[in-house]
Amino acid sequence: MSVRCQESPVLAGSATLAVLGALVLCLAEPAGYGKYTESRIPVATRLSARAAWFLQELPSFAVPAGILAWQPRSLFGQPATVLLGLFCAHYFHRTFVYSLLTRGRPFPVVFLFRGFVFCMGNGLLQGYYLVYCAEYPAEWYTDIRFSLGVFLFILGMGINIHSDYILRQLRKPGEIIYRIPQGGLFTYVSGANFLGEIIEWIGYALATWSLPALAFAFFSLCFLGLRAFHHHRFYLKMFEDYPKSRKALIPVIF
């Protein structure tokens, strides 16, 4: 039985993402994981960073990948499935590569649960819209929005992966100390990894030209941008020799 597009859930899901992004900015506090984990959170309610990131990110890959796998083979190769494939590619890396390589601090279970629910909802929203609602002309592959969007997505993903690599090299296994990241876009901003991911989702929103992707890009900008701001402030307080010309998220500007 074919599934028909229901616009109301798509609009509701997109609005929820936008509201969550605005709420993050209003609260102005970074999510309490990583260097912001509160010391009073019991150790028994934390998971290792590797296990936590794997479990949290898994729905963002598994849900849309499952939607794709459920489709007739004739649908593969169409713009919507290719675009959803990009989304899955990002979260395949986050689930099966990043999570196994990270050297972060133990992760509070409460934030893992929140992240899991968010990733499941967003994965369902993006997958459902692209497979059941989106309609693209055959010439979409040559449209400037698709070409530029995919370019930005790949560029951002490359920046994100390279920046994560630089951060991993700052610590030996088992260490929890902080050092000043150097190289790549860290030369110009404190949140190079966050900037890369923001560029990814802006490119994704452009390539899909969809409300759900735009809402997710906005949420990412709010959530990751705020985190970059707090990272920058953290580094300035911790290191007297921190580069004064380095900005938080956008080179030269912010």
**Burial class of residue 103, CB neighbours in 10 A (0-12, 13-18, 19+):** middle
40 pLDDT tier (thresholds 50, 70, 90)? low
pLDDT in tens, 137-150: 989 999 999 999 99
Residue 41 has pLDDT above 80, yes or no: no
Q: What percent of the chain has pLDDT over 70?
A: 94
Q: What is the mean pLDDT of residues 151-162?
A: 98
The rounded distance, in Å, linking the Cα atoms of 177 and 105 is 10
39 pLDDT tier (thresholds 50, 70, 90)? low
Q: Tell if the pTM clears 0.85, that is, is over it.
A: yes
Q: Which residue type, as a one-letter code, is found at position 167? A: L
The rounded distance, in Å, linking the Cα atoms of 234 and 37 is 13
Locate the domains of the chain by residue range: 30-136, 137-253
Residue 35 has pLDDT above 80, yes or no: no
- Count other Cβ atoms within 10 Å, centred on residue 101: 11
Tell me which residue of 112, 119, 111, 115 sits closest to 51, measured CA to CA. Answer: 112
